[in-house]
Structure 1
Amino acid sequence: MLYLGDDWAEDHHDVELVDDHGARLARKRLPEGLEGVTRLHALIAERMPPEWADLDPGEAAAQVRIGIETDRGPWVQALIAAGYQVYAINPMSVARYRERHSTSGAKSDAGDAHVLAEIVRLDHAHHRPVAADSDQAEAMKLVARTHQTLIWDRTRQLLRLRSVLREFFPAALDVVDDLTASDALELLARAPDPARAARLSRSQIAAALRRANRRQVDAKAADLQQRLRGAQLRQPDAVQAAYAAIVTAQVRLIAALNVEVEQLGQVVADHFGRHRDAEHYLSQPGLGVVLSARILGEFGDDPHRFTDAKARKNYAGTSPITRASGTRTIVLARYARNRRLADAVHQWAFCALKGSPGARAYYSALRTRGTGHQAALRQLGNRLVGILHGCLKTNTTYDEATAWAHLQPTS
């Protein structure tokens, strides 16, 4: 076989090709894009062993293992389409493996290409090839990740807005429950400082509440007006004007993000609804369309990617790690993990507490034993990931009695 390490950058790739014995056959710097891929194919073809002559192109390409520090992008897709065995190596693993070759701390792109080639030559069994997910799953992963990123961006802007209001207009935080709500944004856009807020008429406040479909509009409008007109500490006029400009900018950003989150959420739902595994995910307690799409996108739909439930749990980051030395053993949470998947599973565990009596009983039993809230949710998430794996493996939907049969008293 041939083994190739590919250290990629924005505009080029440093590659090194070695044989079964680790002897270097070639080292090149290739440009990004079609020209670079073409030259890579030619480089591999020139170094093919003579015994490959009788193989068809697909069989020959399957004899090449490539290590690269990413699983996305047109370059990786071109390598997979050519039939090569492509391994996406975690950069942390590459950094640790680099120390095996040099303890001085030296680093170079060509050196990393050599390290990647050695990893797929010697340790490929300890790494996963790039998953053979369907195009539909890959597309859903992209939109679900972007949707999640927009929500995180909105949360950052919201926290900034809260910080600004607390410094010069704390009354706004006292009268508004949700700063992302349309009525709150409308009122803040119209009156971004205490002086203008005090001049809001009851009809203006009521109109904003009606457009947000609030109940008991008249009573709420009267209460808001009274509270906004109450006495409060003020900043100097010039400082207040500067703060008001900042609030206006933040409100516009949050309003725009609200629109994009809503529209992209519909795109996520459309992609998820067409997937073959949608029914299995939606049958799980605590999972809605968007959260299911996030989890499915991160797990992928390659049926051979996870050999068992433990492998899926490890990938999700819900299973603990053990550090044992001598007579001391410590069990810790797994922090080196897919952050997006871990966030989604954590939300899933929290939502499942209402939708599943078994999940609630499992969580309560953990809390009774003294387990903290976050740790209990993490263990519940670990259990839910295992249940999901069983449903996907057996092509069945969720069943409450089967999932939590171990909690039922034995006769």
Structure 2
Amino acid sequence: MVSPKFFAGVDWSEHLNDLAVVDRSGEVIASTRFEATPAGVRDALAVLSGLRTSHTFSRRSVPVAIEASRGLLVNALRRHSQTVIPIHPSTVARYRGRLNPGNRKKSDAGDAALLANILRTDGHAHRPLHTNSEEADAVGALTRAQLRASRTRQYHYLQLRSQLRAVHPAAVTAWGHLDGRLVRPEAREVIALAPSSGQAARLTRRQIRAALDRAGRTRLLDSETDRLFTLFREPVLRNPPAVEDALGQEVLATLRLLGEACLSVDELTSAAGELFSQHPQSRIYLSFPGVGLLTGARLLSELGDDPTRFATAKGLAAYAGARPFTWASGTSRTVLHRRVAANKRLAAYGHYWAFTSLTKSPQCRAHYDKRRAAGDRHNAALRRLFGKLLASLHHCLLHDELFDPEAAWPRPPGPA
């Protein structure tokens, strides 16, 4: 592969962006500041086009380093077929300290030149941004939004639980034995009707049953009504009436936020699953045990659909944190869990996927039990299983095949 003659770096910000271009000697030969607008991007690309040294030169041969992997500016550069190489900000900070350890001075123009020089000296150690299809990028945007909404819902749930402990402790335990707990529609409906212990104690059976009916419950309405009616009338510690009313208003405000968060999660989950099901690779993901619409969408969003991104299954497993990390120094050699140099979202999805597959596939369960018998702890055994599933997924995506458990776990040959 022919080494580029020029290297570019972009230090981006909210309004103005700095571009610097260096040659093979590290000399800054061009620089400019441009806005994050279509006209500004054209001006920056014009600077790269002005570097023409021969009739065979193309600005597309100039790699551009930037401290971002997504965003409007990155998308604009890629739409113009420019090679974009993302570099983590912590990596840039270490390069800055290597050049001048005692000087912490920072400037936008200097960082742009620093990014360009990183490509000049260590460009072989940094990979260009992979190219996904528009459908895969859309699935990724929805799944990341769904994850943020889920975290927001969890935050409001914990906030509501903390508030109820101070004003309505019976509500904290009323649905503790059921999935979802306070996030359940019936729980939110009853709490909205009576956010404090005093109001809950005055509820009638008819009011409780009507609230359960509005929440969509259809089974065992009478027994559930009697259970809540009895529970809310048990004596508990109470605040003064005025304080209890004030705390009840706070509970209602948090309950509204929790309801909006639950609605957002449901909408984004449905949209992500629907869009994922339209992707050509969805049938491959769904053929694996323990993979549903949401899990498949999350896996696709982190892995992408660029067939050249992962050359080997080992590289994919290392990216997902499913392969161990070896630390060797002198005579010491330690094998550790790969934590930093891995995609944390993908590692979390893989843990859930492997755990779910235990009840969906006897081969997955047998592999997990085998690792546990060998001395692995629960999480380590799940990582091993996740790595095994990733190897099969890499093969299936590469050859456009559905998952075959007999091929993934071939039976040992029997006696002749």
Q: TM-score, normalised by structure 1?
A: 0.94
Aligned amino acid, residue 92 of structure 1: S
How do 1:156-235 and structure 2 match up within 5 A? 156-177=155-176, 178-210=181-213, 211-235=215-239
Distance 2:355 2:36 in 1: 44
1:333-379 Cα deviation digits (max 9, x unpaired) = 22223332222112111111111112111212222233222222222
8 Å Cα contact 2:186/2:217 also seen in 1: no
8 Å Cα contact 2:45/2:59 also seen in 1: no
8 Å Cα contact 2:156/2:254 also seen in 1: yes
Q: 2:91 maps to what in 1? A: 93
Assess, with a 3 A threshold, how the Cα gap between structure 1 residues 23 and 164 changes in structure 2: closer, same or farther. Answer: same
Mean Cα displacement is larger for which, 10-19 or 207-216? 207-216
Shift of 1:197: 0.6
Matched, 1:324 2:323: no
Q: 1:390 maps to what in 2? A: 395
Shift of 1:410: 6.1
Shift of 1:214: 4.3
Q: Secondary structure at the residue paired with 2:280?
A: coil
8 Å Cα contact 2:167/2:248 also seen in 1: no
8 Å Cα contact 1:61/1:83 also seen in 2: no
Aligned match for 2:406, one of 397, 401, 407: 401
Runs of at least 4 residues off by over 3 Å? 408-411
State percent identity of aligned pairs.
Answer: 38
Distance 2:243 2:337 in 1: 46
Q: 2:142 maps to what in 1? A: 143
Shift of 1:224: 1.0
Matched, 1:63 2:61: yes
Q: TM-score, normalised by structure 2?
A: 0.93
8 Å Cα contact 2:12/2:66 also seen in 1: yes
Mean Cα displacement is larger for which, 116-125 or 234-243? 234-243
Mean Cα displacement is larger for which, 301-310 or 88-97? 88-97
1:371-407 Cα deviation digits (max 9, x unpaired) = 222222222222222221111112111111211227x
Shift of 1:272: 0.7
Mean Cα displacement is larger for which, 10-19 or 234-243? 234-243
Distance 2:322 2:100 in 1: 34
Q: 1:345 maps to what in 2? A: 350
Q: Secondary structure at the residue paired with 1:62?
A: helix
8 Å Cα contact 2:167/2:238 also seen in 1: yes
8 Å Cα contact 2:86/2:128 also seen in 1: yes
How do 1:40-79 and structure 2 match up within 5 A? 40-49=44-53, 51=54, 53-54=55-56, 60-79=58-77
Distance 1:320 1:237 in 2: 59
Distance 1:263 1:150 in 2: 10
Shift of 1:73: 1.9
Q: Secondary structure at the residue paired with 1:355?
A: coil
Aligned amino acid, residue 22 of structure 2: V
8 Å Cα contact 1:61/1:82 also seen in 2: no
Aligned amino acid, residue 61 of structure 1: R
1:215-270 Cα deviation digits (max 9, x unpaired) = 21101111110011101111222332232122111211111122222222221122
Aligned amino acid, residue 9 of structure 2: G
* Number of aligned residues: 404
8 Å Cα contact 2:169/2:197 also seen in 1: no
Shift of 1:208: 2.7
1:137-183 Cα deviation digits (max 9, x unpaired) = 11111011101111111011111111122233221111113111110
Gaps of 5+ in 2: none
Distance 1:409 1:170 in 2: 61
Shift of 1:30: 1.9
Shift of 1:19: 1.2
Distance 2:120 2:290 in 1: 43
Distance 2:80 2:208 in 1: 62
Q: Considering only aligned residues, what root-mean-square deviation do their CA atoms show, in Å?
A: 1.7
